[in-house]
Structure 1
Amino acid sequence: MFGVIGIVLTFLMVFGGYSLAGGNLDIILYSLPFELMIIGGAAIGSFLLSNEMTVIRQALTGVGRSLKGPRWHETDVQDVLCLLFRLLRIVRTSPVELEEHIENPEASPIFQVYPRILADEHVVALITDTLRSASLNYDDPYQVEEMLSQRIGLINKEAMHAPHALQNMADALPALGIVAAVLGVIKTMSSIDQPPEVLGKMIGGALVGTFLGVFLAYGIVAPFAQRLNAVTKQDQAFYDVIKSVLVAGLHQHATNLCVEVGRQSAPEHIRPAFGDLESSLRELKRAS
């Protein structure tokens, strides 16, 4: 919501202020399609040239993510803590039963209760692979913690490719605007025999290229890149919550304590209240 408001406010203030100051929008509107073709086409072409297809797809979906905000919310943290609570109880009471849940999580009645978590392959793989390793006697908490940190680091590194690619595009747009302006000046110099009023409009059209490059860079693309960067980092904290619970479980702490460690490791804005989580855990105990 605030992203859409920001875009509307940016356009309104820039072009509204220009019009109220007596500026003539005709020159901008006439030159805009051609300048946008040069600058936007060159920016998109260089973006395609410098990035792999996976990064391109991430960037395209990332624009929508930056407007929607972080994927994981307080309810999701509470759900994953309840999921881990149930799985850790199975580990302690019936390790053989655990296999059916971690080998085929899509068919697991425990995972199916939490469809948003089940839909994220990274989260599911992180949980199942760690529990599988523990079942194979790879249960040194410090080694598992290091393994999880490395794995989460790789996930985070891949997720940051998209905001970095958008930021690189933003950095290139002012220079591409200068390219468009230079081409406009070249066009103007080829018509040097025209009257001053014609030359003035042609020079103004050439300067639209510089304006457009800077405006797109710092008014549109860079804010999207920064917002996507922030959203991605907020979502990454979700994996750290999972890691904290699993490592605490390998230290043989009580299951409730493991979940509490995970709750406290969550950022404050998505951390479920202690009372709400306790109520959910009591319901799970009664149901079992």
Structure 2
Amino acid sequence: MKKWMFMIVAALMVLAACNGDSSEEDDDNVETETPIETVDVVQKDFTETRSFTARLTPNEQSPVMAEMPGEVEDVFFERGETVEEGDVLMDYQTQRGMLELEAPIDGMLQNFDFEEGDMVTAEEPAGMVINQDPIVFNFQVTQADRNLVSEGDTVNYNVSQAEATGEAEVTYVASTTGETGMFSVEARADQPDDTIPTGLTGQIEIDNVIAEGALVVPTEAVIERSGETFVFVAQDGEAKQVNVSIVEQHSAETAIEASGDNELEAGDAVISVGQLTLEDGASIRIVEGE
């Protein structure tokens, strides 16, 4: 009796083991889906930004000159204040009687520091009026970069010291080089509040179109493997390898075009995360938004 019981138990153990092996084999046959993220292919002009150091100068400046020497009687403005052409800055007594010292142009009064009883001369300026609206950016470009700018173009500026950014209009491009062998360029930007002082330096940024209407993807989406350059496109739950050639590459974006019989167009979902371990036809699962 005991012998029959032992045989039954053994048979059950063998059956259980067989079932376990079958389950493991089934697990091995299940294809794993790789989690990925995608970015749509964008068609646009592919540009690079060229930066030039510019010196900031006033639109206009004019010295404040007294007609003749005299003694200051009354002062009506202080340095740093905004004046208009014809404003009386001070009265001063001369041999010809009381005279008025007027602002020669609109702008900001500088280097003007007088009190009653001070002497003013006719030989040196009593001050300076600087018109900073518009502010003028002066910079230089090489022959290779000269074709990037023309009079009337709009360029971007960045004056970090004044925490100011904006747009300026190119008002002058030299037709010949100066002593440095470069071409002088001038751009102007309105600033009615005089927020950017002259004398600083800033950056003029000009976008240069490298490829018009290019297909652009994140640089990390482009893979180079075994002598091939390609991207993976998410299509019907699978990763489709699309061979491409690089038109131009930046650190963040790359302009590409499909090579051979491959096709790629704007709006295709290029895999940008999880692509490095994929093979053509691999099962994928998009996890964006989760």
**TM-score normalized with structure 2 length:** 0.20
Which structure is higher in helix share? 1
**TM-score normalized with structure 1 length:** 0.20
Instruction: Return the index of the structure with the highest Cα Rg.
Output: 2
Q: Which has the higher contact order (CA 8 A, sep 6+)?
A: 1
Which structure is higher in strand share? 2
